[in-house]
Structure 1
Amino acid sequence: MRIDVVTIFPDYLKVLDLSLIGRAADRGRLDLHVHDLRDHAHDRHRTVDDTPLGGGAGMVMKPDVWGEALDDVLAVDAPTGGRRVLIIPTPSGEVFTQRTAEDLAGADSLVFACGRYEGIDARVPDHYASRGVEVRELSIGDYVLNGGEVAAVVMIEAIARLLPGVLGNPESLLEESHSAAGLLEYPVHTRPTRWRDLEIDPVLLSGDHTRIARTRRDQAIARTVGRRPDMIARMDAADLDREDRAALATMGWAVPAGAPHPVPVRIRPATVHDAEALADLAARTFPDACGHVIDPEFIAQHIATNLVPGLFRTWVDDDRVDLVVAERLAPQSASQASSGTETAQTPIVPDLVGYAAVLREEPDAAGEPPTGIDPRPACVQARPGQVVGELSKVYVDSTMRGSGLAPALMSVVTQRAIDHGVSLLWLGTHITNKRAQKAYRRAGFRQVGTRTYNVGGQDAHDVVMIRRTGEGL
């Protein structure tokens, strides 16, 4: 690639002689030329600017000087006569991104016109564009510099490092920030493994490359969620696997069924204001568990009797119940979703898309268990002193199927149960619901038996699964 830079400060570009860019030029990977704009100013003072027409502060760089300079530079044949791009750094240009760098790395020749003062006369880019030259006016950020040289250096380095043979290890391009993965790079570490009482994740020392890759991916997701939620909102859903979706859902993003990108969500403790929406959500999602084997009238009876707003209000008020909900947020709430902060205004009708509940086997002052808790099956054997909890509900709206919300809800509600002393969790799921059983096994549950469960007057046959502290809970 040939790169030409036109500037009134040629020495400014000597920084490009350093490091990888300089070595690439020495090896012939880059053909770098710097031109002094003042060589094309023919008055005694080599003047390159004049006052703005129409008045105003500052000075504007003259089109006749720039025209002569660019005519000379553009007259040089591009390598192989291929694609040549005239780049004008300006704060009023389109934003230069990694995608821009990747595009320009495919050119054969780049010409940078570095303006100063109030900029280059606007007729200059218009003229060359009208003559068929590819012109790109680019900004490296929402701020103003004294001139285009700094921006040109930034863009040249970003572009040149993508060229074959410039980086020593081309694999470095695959995992870095703003790569095609759409994430910021994960935190990097080196020896010593312990420094000033700070230790690295022991997974990095395990030698288990699959676990290391997963840990780094999760760290990259977490960093991007915290620092650049706008990048999360642009991620291609097709590139996200099950673990990605679960990690994102825990951090405030989920992928609705068929959606091209993640959307902001929030997993939070339920409140009494959620009761009506929870009952509606329960009525929509409960049939997913056994609708194919239980007659509709029995399911309707179960919902009308058990999954009512009063139940959810009771659970919210009962300290022995951990009840969490997943709420889909408006796009403008993405920053709150990623940071975990509360929004200033709570919607009157929350858009609930999932919920989960754990009920602890603890009697109240009157000796009564929590409302709605199921009798513990005989196959669930508690050890002395263990606090037992029933994972009573994990349901996600059909629009969020496969979004990662179910494992995220399960993770949040089980952690809350642990924090409240639960050391043994059990659940029942219909014996034919293989999808749910597989999800529970991934979460660390194992089957210990079966039970018969009455749904609105009809018996259902459940698999019973448990999970203990020390077994991944």
Structure 2
Amino acid sequence: MRLDVVTIFPDYLTPLDLSLIGKAREDGLLDVRIHDLRDFTHDRHRTVDDTPYGGGAGMVMKPQPWAEALDHVLALDNPSGAKPRLLVPGPGGRPFTQALARELALEPWLAFACGRYEGIDERVYDHAREDLGLEVSVVSLGDYVLNGGEVAVLAMVEAIGRLIPGVIGNAESLVEESHEDGLLEYPIYTKPSSWNGRDVPSVLLSGNHGAIAQWRHEQRLARTAARRPDLLHASHAGGADGGDLEIAAATPGDVPELAVLLLACAAREAGAAGTSGTPDAHASVDDVRASLDTSITWVARSGGRLVGAVRTPRSPSPDGEWAISRLCVAPDLEGRGLDRRLVEQAEAAAPDGTRSVTLHLGSGRPEALKAYRKAGYRPADGSSSLPGTVTLVKRRR
């Protein structure tokens, strides 16, 4: 993976030479390049900021040095014309989570723009997207304000870099860490078994691996509930939908989570049906984003987590057909009635004049077919227009 960082304080990034990230750089697993923004200024003071239009306190980083710096990053050792994903640390961005770290670890090239002062001129973001064709993501390390983006970059590079194969010696140590499945890690102990009047829990000394696994899961739930109750969702608590289910039309901000959910559902359907031709098996983030322009995707959230989705058209077909497709529920929440809630939302969105509702379901779910037959749906004549699915029809009165 290649990482380019543009900053006015290159020395701030020297910790990236240390520990496992530094070793990964030495081994060629990470190619980290630091660029001084002031090298792209043209006055003797090497000025990178100026006063804000409209008044106000503080200074704003000028667009021209940033434009030249980004041009330089794209041109440097890049004969193929590849482009990085540009990340801009900022308190107004998408929260940086373990899930996002895993998403970014799959990218071959990331670039970071470290803002300072009051931030970067907004036109730099437009230039990067529209003129350079970069995917730009503003990412927040937390709900607080830092003096600049360098601290956030250090944290993000460490979180992302350690997920690159080969960076961590024992890959199994990544499996049960905090946030990997939405829960915090369980308490850990080492020798001696009794220290300073405090004993290691007896279950850990029992040799009963089933009991140990159960204890650890219970400890993870208890620790998460005590320290980060906002992380708990229905699959952990055991409720049908956590009592706080919200269904709304998807926005561009939902796209990354929605893409992951659709891929998870596609993999589940493919395994159940014994095929690889499900509609979303190869859907990219760009495909999901483009679908928001041509259809409406309804997403369900519980405890902040995106747990389900269903797609409807923006208008019925000329013959009054209302097509419901891409019905998807998080695999760990199946069988709790969430799919029916989503279908009810999709049915309610059908405008007056709709004569029939068609529902496309994965062909590997015979139990779902029985349930929807009770709800008034019947198998359609002929084969489904979507591979890996069956089509059901419900006439509207």
After TM superposition, is the score higher than 0.5? yes
CA distance 1:207–1:73, change in 2 (3 Å): same
Please state how far the C-alpha of 1:79 moved relative to its aligned partner.
9.7
Map of 1:123 onto structure 2: 123
Map of 2:55 onto structure 1: 55
Please state how far the C-alpha of 1:28 moved relative to its aligned partner.
0.5
Structure 1: gaps spanning 5 or more residues: 241-252, 265-330, 333-398, 402-473
Q: Does the 8 A contact of 2:90 with 2:149 survive in 1?
A: yes
Map of 2:76 onto structure 1: 76
Provide Cα deviations, 1:34-77, integer angstroms capped at 9, x if missing partner.
11111111101111111111110001111001111111002235
Matched position secondary structure for 1:175: coil
Map of 1:16 onto structure 2: 16
**What is the 5 A alignment of 1:266-281?**
none
Matched position secondary structure for 2:119: coil
Structure 1: which amino acid aligns with 2:108? D
Give percent identity, aligned residues only.
58
Q: Does the 8 A contact of 1:79 with 1:109 survive in 2?
A: no
Q: Does the 8 A contact of 1:86 with 1:136 survive in 2?
A: yes
The answer as to 2:159 corresponding to 1:165 is no
Provide Cα deviations, 1:337-371, integer angstroms capped at 9, x if missing partner.
xxxxxxxxxxxxxxxxxxxxxxxxxxxxxxxxxxx
Q: Does the 8 A contact of 1:6 with 1:36 survive in 2?
A: yes
Structure 2: which amino acid aligns with 1:124? V
CA distance 1:100–1:77, change in 2 (3 Å): farther
Please state how far the C-alpha of 1:22 moved relative to its aligned partner.
0.4
Structure 2: which amino acid aligns with 1:110? L
Distance 2:198 2:172 in 1: 28
Distance 1:82 1:208 in 2: 52
Matched position secondary structure for 1:11: helix
Map of 1:174 onto structure 2: 175
Matched position secondary structure for 2:232: helix
CA distance 1:201–1:149, change in 2 (3 Å): same
Distance 2:230 2:203 in 1: 29
**What is the 5 A alignment of 1:4-403?**
4-76=4-76, 84-131=84-131, 132-179=133-180, 181-233=181-233, 235=234, 237=235, 253-255=237-239, 259=240, 261-263=241-243
Provide Cα deviations, 1:229-268, integer angstroms capped at 9, x if missing partner.
22112x5x3xx6xxxxxxxxxxxx441xxx3x4459xxxx
Matched position secondary structure for 1:178: coil
CA distance 1:208–1:83, change in 2 (3 Å): farther
> What RMSD in Å do the two structures reach over aligned CA positions?
2.3
Matched position secondary structure for 1:130: helix
Q: Does the 8 A contact of 2:85 with 2:136 survive in 1?
A: yes
Structure 2: which amino acid aligns with 1:168? G
Q: Does the 8 A contact of 1:183 with 1:221 survive in 2?
A: yes
Distance 1:78 1:187 in 2: 46
Q: Does the 8 A contact of 1:114 with 1:149 survive in 2?
A: yes
Please state how far the C-alpha of 1:29 moved relative to its aligned partner.
0.4
Distance 2:45 2:144 in 1: 31
Question: 83-92 or 11-20: which moved more?
Answer: 83-92
Distance 1:171 1:78 in 2: 34
Please state how far the C-alpha of 1:81 moved relative to its aligned partner.
6.3
Q: Does the 8 A contact of 1:83 with 1:108 survive in 2?
A: no
* Bigger Rg over Cα: 1
Distance 2:81 2:128 in 1: 18
Distance 2:49 2:83 in 1: 30
Structure 2: which amino acid aligns with 1:194? S
Provide Cα deviations, 1:410-435, integer angstroms capped at 9, x if missing partner.
xxxxxxxxxxxxxxxxxxxxxxxxxx
CA distance 1:78–1:209, change in 2 (3 Å): farther
Q: Does the 8 A contact of 2:186 with 2:217 survive in 1?
A: yes
Structure 1: which amino acid aligns with 2:142? G
Distance 2:104 2:83 in 1: 10
TM-score, normalisation: structure 2? 0.59
Map of 1:347 onto structure 2: none
Please state how far the C-alpha of 1:78 moved relative to its aligned partner.
5.8
CA distance 1:205–1:66, change in 2 (3 Å): same
Q: Does the 8 A contact of 1:254 with 1:263 survive in 2?
A: no
Please state how far the C-alpha of 1:196 moved relative to its aligned partner.
2.3
Distance 2:139 2:7 in 1: 16
Question: 67-76 or 110-119: which moved more?
Answer: 67-76
Matched position secondary structure for 1:127: helix
Provide Cα deviations, 1:3-33, integer angstroms capped at 9, x if missing partner.
0111111011000111110011110100011
Q: Does the 8 A contact of 1:78 with 1:109 survive in 2?
A: no
Structure 2: which amino acid aligns with 1:64? Q
CA distance 1:204–1:87, change in 2 (3 Å): same
Distance 1:78 1:41 in 2: 23
Structure 2: gaps spanning 5 or more residues: 245-301, 304-334, 338-397
Q: Does the 8 A contact of 1:17 with 1:23 survive in 2?
A: yes
CA distance 1:80–1:41, change in 2 (3 Å): closer
TM-score, normalisation: structure 1? 0.50
Q: Does the 8 A contact of 1:128 with 1:135 survive in 2?
A: yes
Distance 1:114 1:73 in 2: 14
Q: Does the 8 A contact of 2:74 with 2:83 survive in 1?
A: no
